[in-house]
Amino acid sequence: MLCEFFQTYPAHMAGKLMNVYLTKRRRSMNTTEATRQLLPPSSKWLLSINTLFAGASALSNTFLNIYLWKFLQSVEQIAIYNFYIFLFSAIGYTIAGWIAKKSDRLYTLRIGVAILALFYILIISFGSRAVSLYVLLGMLQGIGTGFFWLSYNVLVFEVTEPETRDEYNGANGFLFAVATMAAPLLAGRILSTLPMKGYTIIFTVSFALFLTAVLITWKLQPKGGPPSYDLYAGFSPQEHKNLWRKMLTMSFSMGFREGTLAFLPFLLVFVVTQDELTASRYLLFTSAGSLVAYYVVKKFLTTARRNTFVTTAAFMLGLSVLMLLFEVNKVSLFVFGIANSLFTPLLVIPYSCLTYDVMGQLPEAVHRKVEYIVIRESVVNTGRCLSILALIGLQWLLSEGLSMKLTFLLVGLSPLVALFFFRRTNETLRV
């Protein structure tokens, strides 16, 4: 009975939210277009899994950095923790790709969520003693994340077509924004009432959400594929090699931007204010900004407008760091966070859609999709790792204040690099 509840209720709620979103979306579409863009039933289960994953991650992952800060009191050590997450995420992708080709992508999805559940069991069991194991925790979280996202990206490629990809990404973005709005506010309220014991409650709830996500995977259909696993073919396809290399270069610049932004702004909000509730409000405002941005993307984004969206996003994201170059305080961090949340979807959604479009043009796209995804994500995680290494290196060489400003400057310039390669890739694809 309990298992049936866990399998049905979260998917039911996610399905209701998605239906509300799609109904509003289709009111502005004619009947033919709406019918063409209907999503298959399996996409609802996949959206449910990702919504649970987003909720669990938003509830705990960001606050885990604060939890570590309370004991370590070091930006450098927290950066090392996140470095190991991204490094072992790339390793997790590679191992998961091999397992997915030899068996089924659902197995790697379940293994990934199970590893993340184990990660939270360790934190709950060890309590404050887990802080001394922050490198091991980063490795474990990275491998679990790599397993999960490998399977998820493969499933997205399978359940969507070019005609439905924008619709799916919009629904996914909507549900992701809702989850990341509600979870941090709840977490902040718990932590403001129960400062240290609240972390145990949060990590326990995250564990339950991950467990529910594992149970829902049995609603998806297993599907085998060719057992051969050739990463060289994924890196250097026989056709459209230059097109793929441009896409990978853009992926690197996207990863470089994400590396430090995954943890640094939110951590600095807490360091400046010393208040979990204020940090929760920061996440609430940024999630609300993302929700608005996803609505704009879904209402106005077309293939012809991709360049316009990415150009606008790249320049606005570059401008958003200017205040942080003068002073890092509560106001500048909130302004940066809100601007970042408003314009990041305008960059990420066209990039995601273009990536799958490019993959669809590569040889043996159906049989080599796992290899293409592993290579792309390895490049993204390489960018993330180098971004964090740049932060650590600047911390060693310069004062903390100056190193932060230079880090944000590098992060601000990376979307312009992404813009350059996005336009070149898009032009080559449309020729």
Task: At 228, give phi and psi (nearest 5°).
Answer: -65, 140
pTM of the entire predicted model: 0.84
More confident residue, 301 or 92: 92
Residue 428 has pLDDT above 50, yes or no: yes
- Is 230 within a domain? no
Q: Into how many domains does the chain fold?
A: 1
**Which pLDDT tens digit goes with each residue over 208-250?**
888 888 888 888 777 766 668 888 888 888 788 889 999 999 9
**Which pLDDT tens digit goes with each residue over 295-350?**
888 788 888 889 999 999 999 999 998 888 888 899 999 999 999 999 999 999 89
- Is 173 within a domain? yes
> By residue range, what is the domain housing residue 291?
8-25+41-220+237-426
- Is 30 within a domain? no
Q: Please, what's the b/e burial string for 380-404 (b: 16 or more CB within 10 A of its CB; e: otherwise)?
A: bbbbbbbbbebbbebbeeeeeeebb
User: How much is the pLDDT for 8?
Assistant: 44
- Is 229 within a domain? no
**Which pLDDT tens digit goes with each residue over 23-79?**
444 444 443 344 344 566 677 788 888 888 888 877 777 678 888 888 888 889 999
Q: Please, what's the b/e burial string for 7-25 (b: 16 or more CB within 10 A of its CB; e: otherwise)?
A: beebbeebbebbeebbeeb
Neighbours of 284 (CB within 10 A): 17
- Is 35 within a domain? no
- Is 74 within a domain? yes
The structure tokens listed for 339 are 């601007």
CATH of the domain at 213: 1.20.1250.20
